[in-house]
A = this chain, B = another copy of it.
């Protein structure tokens, strides 16, 4: 299937895997809920951006959107606060075995992540290789050093093995990615 800009893919995952608790998105939602309930961090996934064209009001109390389109996001999907620090990241899954295609991330999102570092926030990618069941956290500094040095359309799996941090999978929290973030207090 052809998923332009990852937008339909996202929605596809939402309806197909959402309730089975298996997608990266669902794992992160459960993890962020755990972080919030245990007062570790306040991190949320942003709603999917859409453009609304038509709304019906079948009753005074209810509005039903009858026509809308998915929009290309200008920022990353996740942000929040951890130990007083601003946290910002994008999360993607890939079925590729040898590399993570950069087409999965919009240019806007890459520029956004860069600005986060410039403004003193903590930015990173979370990338899951479905073929290996492995989920890596790639800090901005390593992500941008790759982009500056290499002129490639994808990041090799071996780069994640070398520079990424493998996120351990557990029950609670499901994906303890914050454990891998160092915050100087």
On A, residues with C-beta under 8 Å from B are: 1-2, 4, 7-8, 11, 14, 36, 39, 41-42, 44, 46-50, 52, 55, 57, 60-71, 74-75, 79-86, 88, 112, 115-116, 118-121
Q: How far apart sit A115 and B43, CA to CA, in the bound complex (Å)?
A: 11
Shortest Cβ distance from A75 into B: residue: B44
Q: How far apart sit A84 and B120, CA to CA, in the bound complex (Å)?
A: 4
Residues from chain B with a CB closer than 8 A to the CB of A14 are 52
A63 contacts B116, CB within 8 Å? no
Given known contacts A2-B61, A63-B69, A81-B121, what 4 new A-B pairs fall within 8 Å (CB)?
A: A8-B57, A47-B47, A65-B65, A82-B119
B81 contacts A42, CB within 8 Å? no
Scoring A2, A8, A36 by chain B CB atoms within 10 A of each residue's CB, the highest score goes to A8
The 8 closest A-B pairs by CB, nearest first: A84-B120, A47-B49, A65-B68, A81-B86, A86-B86, A47-B47, A81-B121, A81-B119
Q: How far apart sit A96 and B71, CA to CA, in the bound complex (Å)?
A: 35
**Per a CB cutoff under 8 Å, which of B4, B83, B88 touches A120?**
B83
B81 contacts A65, CB within 8 Å? no
Residues from chain B with a CB closer than 8 A to the CB of A75 are 44
Q: How far apart sit A62 and B67, CA to CA, in the bound complex (Å)?
A: 13
Q: How far apart sit A120 and B118, CA to CA, in the bound complex (Å)?
A: 20
Shortest Cβ distance from A57 into B: residue: B8
**Per a CB cutoff under 8 Å, which of B36, B70, B79, B84 touches A63?**
B70
A8 contacts B115, CB within 8 Å? no
B8 contacts A63, CB within 8 Å? yes
Shortest Cβ distance from A10 into B: residue: B63
